[in-house]
Chains A and B, each alone.
Chain A
Amino acid sequence: AQTVTQSQPEMSVQEAETVTLSCTYDTSESNYYLFWYKQPPSRQMILVIRQEAYKQQNATENRFSVNFQKAAKSFSLKISDSQLGDTAMYFCAFMKAGGGTSYGKLTFGQGTILTVHP
């Protein structure tokens, strides 16, 4: 079974600064997908970024980028130029590739609460 660990329960950052959220995972699979989702106080889960494990290039999406280290099983999220609207709970998630017990199943970490201060 896969496990996802987010070791930082809470983090805070000043507006316009950069912050990095950590995520490690444990799997014996070689092909899989990794995601970061944010859940603001409204509770609506929103996709931040997606990474395919077979791609060595780190995914980026505007101010959000990841540092994907496959050998270390690490998948950190960097938020640049933090904005007040980035305040949310951030979840790291894993999905095994293939069929069967992979279908539709995201395995989530426990989340990191990020607060952006003005």
Chain B
Amino acid sequence: KAGVTQTPRYLIKTRGQQVTLSCSPISGHRSVSWYQQTPGQGLQFLFEYFSETQRNKGNFPGRFSGRQFSNSRSEMNVSTLELGDSALYLCASSPGTSGTAGDTQYFGPGTRLTVL
């Protein structure tokens, strides 16, 4: 099976712009989680989607949003970019079929976002 893919791999934006990142999960996986990785804060959970519904959300401002499509592909959007949003954004997919948390997450290669 193909792994988790993320596009684009690299992005450069300026403050105030908005950006959309895309994630395609492993075939058959229905759960997609998003994480932000920075040197200062480490890896932080943004949100999780399952069957087009957001089931869980981390402590990020409303500028960070996401959605999931019927084919399980997911996008995350960041509006009004700030310098502090520069980070590696990782998505991870898991089967999500157990009905409860605990599935192993498989990660994509990430999108490196730089905000100037």
Q: Which A residues are closer than 8 A to B by beta carbons?
A: 33, 35, 37, 42-47, 50, 52, 91, 95-111
Query: Nearest chain B CB to A45's CB is how many angstroms away?
Result: 4
List of A residues within 8 angstroms of B109 by Cβ = 42-44
B58 at interface, CB cutoff 8 A: yes
Separation of A43 and B37 alpha carbons in the complex (Å): 10
Q: Are B102 and A45 in contact (CB under 8 A)?
A: no
Smallest CB-CB A-B distances: 5 pairs: A104-B48, A102-B101, A45-B107, A104-B33, A108-B43
B positions within 8 Å CB-CB of A: 31-33, 35, 42-43, 45, 47-50, 55-56, 58, 88, 90, 92, 94, 96, 99-102, 104-107, 109-110
Cα–Cα distance between A45 and B100 once the two chains are bound (Å): 23
**22 pairs from A and B in contact (CB 8 Å cutoff):** A35-B104, A37-B107, A42-B109, A44-B109, A50-B104, A52-B102, A95-B102, A97-B100, A98-B100, A99-B99, A99-B100, A102-B102, A103-B50, A104-B31, A104-B33, A104-B56, A104-B92, A104-B105, A105-B45, A105-B56, A105-B58, A111-B42
Closest residue on chain A to residue B45 by CB atoms = A105
Cβ-defined contact, B43 with A103, below 8 A:
no
- 5 A-B pairs besides A98-B101, A104-B45, A106-B105 with CB distance below 8 A are A46-B107, A47-B105, A97-B101, A104-B55, A105-B101
Q: Which of B33, B50, B99 sits near A106, CB closer than 8 Å?
A: B33
For A109, the closest partner residue in chain B by CB is: B42
Q: Which residues of A contact B43 (CB under 8 A)?
A: 91, 106, 108
Contact A104 B50 (CB under 8 A): yes
Cα(A43)–Cα(B90), bound, Å: 10
If over half of B's interface residues share one DSSP class (helix, strand or loop), that class is named, otherwise mixed; here it is strand
Complex Cα spacing A105 to B42, Å? 14
Beyond A104-B55, A105-B45, A106-B33, whether A43 also contacts B101 by CB under 8 A is no
- Nearest-Cβ distance from residue A54 to partner chain B, whole angstroms: 10
**CB-based contact A103/B42 at 8 Å:** no
